[in-house]
Structure 1
Amino acid sequence: MTLSVELEEWIGSLWHRFITRRASVDFPEARVELASRQRALALLFRATGGALNMGVEAVSERALLVRRSVLQQIAGTCKQVPLAWCDAQNLRLPASLAIFPEASLNEELYRWLALLAAQSGPMRHWGRDNQRWTRYLLQRYPGMANRYQRLLAAHLQLRPDPATLSPAEAALERALRQALREPGSVEHFPRCERAAWPVPLWLYPPLYLGGATTADLEDLNSDLPAAGGEQQGGRKRATRTDDSPVTGGLLVVRLENLFSWTEHVELDRWEDDSQDPDAAKVAEDLDHLTLSRTRIRKGGGLKLHLDLPPADIDDIPLGAGIKLPEWDYRQGRLQDNFVNLQLFEPRDCTPQLLPARLQPAARRLRRQFEQLRHERQWLRQQPQGSELDLQAWLDFHVQRVNGQGAERGLFMERRHTHRDLACLLLADVSMSTDAHLNDEHRVIEVIRDSLLLFGETLSTLGDDFALYGFSSLRRQQVRLQELKTFAQRYDDSTRGKIQGLTPGYYTRMGAAIRQATRLLSSSKRRRKLLLLLTDGKPNDLDLYEGRYGVEDTREAVHEARRQGLIPFCITIDRKAADYLPYMFGSNGYSLIRQPDQLPLRLPQLYRQLTQL
């Protein structure tokens, strides 16, 4: 009996491989994979006009009602086809291409689709829009004409012969062939009950998600464990379902017939908290996903959210809240009045002297910067001076050779100058700063000491400076602690506010940087430095966690630079190299590997940044 079952399974597997291979329209020996070309295609897409916030991802096959041959119907193939399409977040390309018998043609098709998507916009009519985009692409890049003709000639050989189709299907096929040969020549396409044979050279409408939002699918993808080295599939068709019953309750029966209250009362029952290692493979094999939101996500673990403290013990609010925009990378635009920022002043902070343990370091820094304050500076390109300015003379010589020899100062003079500089220091005081660096110190204590020594140093130097702390609890409550404004003196009152800082909440960097940019832009100084002191990456309880927060912070830094500010980040996070170069640039941040040295390193970094 066992032998006959195994023989049956063996014959069945042979038949399946044979009939599937005979019915397939692909060329497996010429297959090319998207994974190895994803980065290059994304670069090509953005370089030729595609949105900078969009990426390139693999797409899943979608159902398409096309006429299939008898062999394909027997094999059950060609029901679904991988089609390229584009939405607001990503360009979706097939995970692999084996459409043409030559691998070079399949690679060229990937590049063609990336170029076509870069010229595309909202799709109103599939046929007319693709013709318009193709014609515009060929006009903009005439060198693509030969490549397009190669792809077109290879594709037309694989399309069905109109003579073998029904009249309606034949008319649609002829119209498509004409539109491919002469883009823009076909305005109206004949109606047909069946879809035309797929056109891989064109983009298709975005896949309808059936009630499931983008956030739902992103959450689903994050919940599915993928095997090592295995690429997850593209986006699926999905629908949202409500798993909680609208009606229900106790059954009206005799109590002796009730086996258990939990059988009839709506309760969140225990379920296994471990993830299924095969969940990603199962999801990959499904054509249609049904998503449900349970009341307890990822098991029954305890999850705490911090609420704001009562008003009588909270910091003192200063004025009404300030509405600020926030960057949504998925839409590629700023959302106006999206964030509410509130200025606070620490409550019950009495004026205090500088702690005794910091006074020796403060005296050393004051002596160093007092000498720099009276030190004379070299001024370049002066009409007269004690030394020749070689760089100015070289520039003048080059311009004179090119016929642009404008008069300029060619000397250097050393004399006392006024430092036309303003600095705003923004310190992260989120609850992550409550962590311990060692057995003696916490992060918040190091930040307090850094602010104190920074204030002692700059007050000696005479530069205009302001000190603020920030934290957040979702976009409705971004908290900015006012420690010292540009108009206030650095005194015992400021020292008391700094020593009264307490950690709490989260790190919504973008809003804090935008408000700091506004405050610093109002200064009349010529040079303006914005320093950010933090111990980690941007995060909050809502979507700000992950890429959303990184992209918003990066956009806020770009806004500051466009207004003439110099933003610079100082961090103690050893993983900062993974995200800070993207947000601040490779030269826009400094990592302090020994956090306990931050109070002494901060004034020295300020000295380097201001080129004393």
Structure 2
Amino acid sequence: MTDDGLIDGLLRSVRFAQAIDRRTWQSVREVFPGPAFDLWIDGFERVAAKISDPAAPFAFATGSVEVARLHGVDLALATADTATGIAKAAGPEAALRFLSTLPAVAALLEENAALRIWLRTVEEAATLAPGAASLIIRASGFVLGRLSVLAFRAWAANGIRQSGGDAAKAALYFAVTDMATLKAFERDPDDVAFTDIEASLRAFLIALWKIRPVIRAASVRPGGRVMRRASFDGAFIRVPEIYAGYRGAAAAAHYHAVFAHIGAHLRYGRAKFPVGSLRPVQLALVGLIEDARIEALAAEEYPGLRRLWSRFHVAEPGTALTAELLMMRLARALIDPAYVDDDPWISKARRMFRDARDQWEDPAISRRIGGLLGNDIGQMRIQFNARSHVIEPSYRDDNLGLWDFGETPPEQAETAEMLLEAVRLNEQETPEGSERRERDDTSDVSANRAGKLTALPEDAGIPIARRSEWDHVGGLMRHDWTTILEFKPKPAAAEAIDAILADHADVERRIARLVKAAKVSRPVRMRRQPQGDRLDLDAAIRAMIDYRAGLPPDTRLYETQEMRARDLSVLALLDISESTRDRVRDTTTTVIALERAAAALLAQAMADLGDPFALHAFCSNGREEVRYYRVKDFTEDNLAVVKARLAGLRGMLSTRLGAALRQAGAEIATQATHRKLVLVITDGEPADIDVADKRYLVEDARKAVQELARQGVDVFCVGLDGGGENYLPRIFGPRNHLMINRVEALPEKLPMLYFRLTI
């Protein structure tokens, strides 16, 4: 058959084909040869069926052809999944916008990896912020013409976080009316950002100052005002994502100087200074003297800090006489004993600071010396512009954490505003920094979801949390020691799970009856009972009153406690390490097959009862790669999809159980039920490639179980390895684990679990 005859046949047989002209069909046939054409037809029909707009088939055809020509057939076929995913999450209008934008974006992005990142970004944006998806896609061409795809991803993540679901805020941010906002995300390949070294900076603060504050990268807001200096308030620290002018090792050293300085404030500072009647120049100088005071004390305790900070003091004597330059020279004079500056004002300040050595422990000297020096500036008729003033050197914070503005009176409102403006970036200056995701030690679920917008290759996981780890040898907790990466489960044929349920229908019914019969909830107090374990005092008093009044007393004088409802959420955590490929002892069944069967039966029973139930899995490849898979989340009710994901799980890598338990605990902590249970299904002793001590991860897992218990989360283990008796009691306790080697044993063993939950 000729190509024309084939195309005629397609136009007659393929659904929705009437929306596409012959020329477009010819193009499709040319760029999707052989089996790829059949795959394209499948994608075409899915797109046309999912997106009701009559323009969708033609938009998909033209867009996929353009992608195939520029980036290859595989990426072109992947656009069908992206379009249907956007349609499902954000609606057909956003999906049609995506298809219409696709050719222009494909032409802008020269590398296949870049286009793949853009596809993932817009699909994830549709899931995280459905109302903003169309705005992000519409702006893609404009933004990608000015930023890299990674910067585009950071820009989108920042906007989603800033808008917080507010349509008006999203429209303002994604309108991209000025270049200032976009420039905030420009980044040189050699730049070192805060998020690149965040873990080491947190460890540095803990080691140096023994503090663990909440740290966040500064957000970029519409209008392009970007934070230029770090800021702190109590135990909360915000830092710029990038400091302009510092790259590589110098940038890392600069960040360490920033955190060492703020840590010194938190260590040696006291109550905030009241603003009172101080003028802007006095506020700036009090802050400068306070910076010098806390650094001097810190350098006495840790002399190496003086070397760290001094490298960033570059002011020279004899420069133009302006207030800003004088302050830079003074800052250097107070930290560098070898610095020579003959200016009378600087010499006076240096002498006053040194003469107050015995009072350095008292922050009041900063206010006294700074106020006097500010008066001198006024008498010298040197102008000071608070709105353009930026604190130098750049590792120092904005000093807002030093001041108590209180209820600022009208006459001081301008002073407070000037101080606030002094640390903000002028719109005409070039901003630096890019916004990625915010990380918080609380690790709530929304934060976990926002982490999905971190730019990563398709076959890599998405960092969603940093977790602590217990070092039993040193007896210390290594904070933020492990990285949790979320991986998307690869689905397989769900028929395999259906076959398991069919083969074990009797087992599933027995499990369902057992789970249903267990009343796991808050105990309800039952009063006025004919018998019970304690006296009902109110009933007893009422009976005595009736007796003395000559009335027959009520004999129901007792009270009991009963479980009358169900109030339990369960998170089943599957170990899918490499060892699960082995056969269960004394059987012909692999461990992963037994895990899959046990999980399927439990999931079916829980789904039938309506209890909140999640099914997650994990494995690891060292502490920086603890893989976490969401097979089923608490709010997910599409069992067909869950079965496909469960069927697709494969055993690989190692078993860092403690990190996975802490992540599971954070996930289930969001449930509002009375009892929360993490049910671990595992086959082997915790182990990982970067740990030689066999006890290390066992003790860490034990510590994680204890932590969850203090948070009100029960942890129970179903072991699938006869050797587990050697270590499971150590991790979970002698009564919180059971061993099975066949799925039929679950109904026999689970009563132990539910008995523990009901006492």
Say yes or no: TM over 0.5: no
Q: Given the two structures, how large is their TM-score scaled by the length of structure 2?
A: 0.34
**Structure 1 length normalisation: TM-score?**
0.42
Structure number with the higher strand fraction is 1
Bigger fraction of residues in helix: 2
